[in-house]
């Protein structure tokens, strides 16, 4: 069953059809949420909330592409979480570290352990760099550069114009470049700028 057929079925209250969409997009949604909120537990909560909101809001889905529509709900839920966290700041050192049980995904079965370790280290430093950005720039750079969405899809997912996407993306990239050059010693050798 293709994506739009699943969406149509889910609109009529077919929960298994929607759960099929959940399985297709949960990794993307969770990774976007993690990059934006910066904590694994908060990212899991945001992802779950976003899927629930998406199911309830399916009636308002009129587009052709489910992915940017879903990601818009995910980013908005993340913004809500960040606002809530700002109101009630809590310091949880465990959240700042990546839980080994939910560790980085092994992308390539042929990847050697040391390469994997370097990539994990890169992921950690990048997350620190991304955390320096304002949430709006964070969302754009995560969607566009990390998740590979086009400018159009990023604009849809963040609810802003194409021009705003371009300017936010360029500012975010410039800040990340400066940060990574300042913290070059933290990067694995083969990733240094």
Partner 1 sequence: MTKPRFPTRSTIGDELLSAYLDGQVTAAERQRVEQALAADAGLRERYDALQMTVNLLQEAPPLRVPRAFVLSEAQVLAAGGKVRGAPQPGFFDRLFPRLMPLAAAASAILLIVLLSIDFLTGLGEGVAAPRLVAQKTEFAVVPVREEHASREMPAGAPAAAVIELSPEVGRTVVVDEEVARTALVEELAKRESEKTSPQAETVIRENAMMPISTPGAKNTATPRPATVIAKMSLEEASPAATPPAPVAEKMTADKAEPRLESAGASGEIHVTESIAPTPVVSQATPRRGDGRAWLRLAEFVLALLFIIFLAGALVLRRRKHTVAP
Residues that bind partner 1 (CB under 8 A): 12-15, 18-19, 22-23, 26-27, 29-31, 34, 40, 44, 47-48, 51-52, 55-56, 98-99, 101-105, 107, 119-120, 122-123, 126, 141, 145-146, 148, 151, 166-167, 169-171, 173-174, 176-178, 180-181, 187, 191, 193
Length of the chain in terms of residues written: 193
Least Cβ distance, residue 69 to partner 1 (angstroms): 17
Q: Which is nearer to partner 1, 4 or 162 (CB)?
A: 162
Q: Which is nearer to partner 1, 96 or 120 (CB)?
A: 120
Q: Which is nearer to partner 1, 85 or 166 (CB)?
A: 166
Cβ neighbors of 64 (< 8 A, separation 6 or more) are 4
Q: Could you give the C-alpha distances from 176 to 32, 37, 170, in angstroms and in order?
A: 17, 17, 10
Chain-centroid distance of CA 71 in Å reads 8
Provide the sign of the torsion angle of the four alpha carbons 98, 46, 66, 131, taken in this order: negative
Least Cβ distance, residue 131 to partner 1 (angstroms): 13
Chain-centroid distance of CA 128 in Å reads 14
Contact 175, 87 (CB under 8 A): no
Least Cβ distance, residue 28 to partner 1 (angstroms): 9
Least Cβ distance, residue 186 to partner 1 (angstroms): 12
């Amino acid at each position: 069953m293709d994506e739009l057929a699943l969406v149509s079925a889910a609109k009529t209250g077919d929960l298994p059809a929607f759960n099929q969409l959940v399985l297709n997009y949960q990794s993307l949604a969770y990774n976007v949420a993690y990059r934006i909120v910066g904590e694994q537990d908060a990212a899991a909560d945001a992802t779950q909330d976003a899927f629930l909101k998406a199911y309830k809001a399916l009636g308002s889905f009129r587009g052709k592409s489910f992915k940017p529509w879903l990601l818009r709900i995910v980013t908005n839920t993340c913004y809500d979480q960040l606002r809530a966290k700002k109101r009630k700041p809590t310091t949880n050192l465990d959240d700042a570290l990546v839980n080994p049980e939910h560790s980085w995904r092994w992308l390539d079965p042929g990847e050697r352990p040391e390469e994997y370790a370097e990539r994990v280290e890169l992921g950690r430093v990048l997350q620190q760099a991304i955390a320096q950005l304002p949430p709006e720039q964070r969302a754009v750079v995560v969607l566009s550069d990390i998740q590979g969405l086009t400018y159009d899809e990023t604009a849809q997912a963040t609810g802003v114009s194409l021009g705003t996407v371009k300017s936010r993306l360029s500012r975010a990239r410039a800040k990340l470049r400066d940060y990574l050059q300042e913290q070059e010693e933290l990067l694995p050798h083969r990733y240094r700028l």
